[in-house]
Amino acid sequence: MNPLVTPSIGLLFWQVVTFLLVLFLLSKFAWKPIMKALREREQNIDNALSMAEKAKLEMQSLRADNERLLNEARAERERILKEATDAATALVEGARTRANEEGARMIEQARVSIENEKKAALTEVKNLAATLSIDIAEKLIKRELQDEQAQRALVQSYLRDTPLS
C-alpha cells in the first residue's frame, strides 16, 4: 500500500496528541472567552428585545393617551361650539324680544299721541265751531234786533219758552 494513504502508527499518535493539546489549550484559553462573549451577546440581544417590547407597549400606551386627549379635545370643541351657538341664539332672541317690545311701546306711544292730538283737534274744532256760532248768532241777533219792536218780540218768545215754575 501507498504510505501516503495509510498513516503510520507514530503519525497517528502524534496527531491525536496534538489534537488533544490544541483541544486543551482552546478549552482553557479560547472557549471560555468565546462562550462568555456569546452569552453577553445573547443577553444584550434579549435586553434589546425586551426594551423594544417595552417601547412598543409604551408607544401603544402613548397612542391610547393621544387618542383619549384628541377625543377630549373634540368633545371640548363641540361643547364650546354648542355654548357659543346657544349664546348667539340667546343674544339674537333677546335682541328680537327687546326690538319687539320697543316697537310695541313705540306703536302704543304713537297711538296715544295720535289719540291726544285727535282729542285736541276735536276740542279745537268744537271751540272754533262754538266761536263761529256765537259770532254768527251775534251778527244775526244784531241784525234782527236793530229795531225795538223786534227786541220785544224776541224777549216775549223767550219768556213763553221758559218754564217759570
pLDDT digits (tens, 9 = 90+) for 89-126: 999 999 999 999 999 999 999 999 999 999 999 898 88
- Quote the pTM value: 0.41
Cβ-contact 154, 144 below 8 angstroms: yes
* Euclidean distance between the first and the last CA atom of the chain, given in angstroms as a whole number: 194
Cβ-contact 156, 162 below 8 angstroms: no
The pLDDT of residue 165: 57
The pLDDT of residue 41: 96
Handedness of CA 142, 144, 148, 150 (dihedral sign): negative
Three cell numbers written together for 105: 311701546
The pLDDT of residue 131: 86
Q: Is the pLDDT of residue 155 over 80?
A: no
Question: Of residues 81 and 27, which shows the higher confidence score?
Answer: 81
Residue 41 amino acid letter: R
User: What integer best gives the mean pLDDT of the chain?
Assistant: 87
Range of weakest confidence among 19-23, 75-79, 82-86, 127-131:
127-131
Three cell numbers written together for 48: 434589546
Distance CA 165, CA 157 (A): 17
CA atoms within 13 A on the CB side of 94: 6
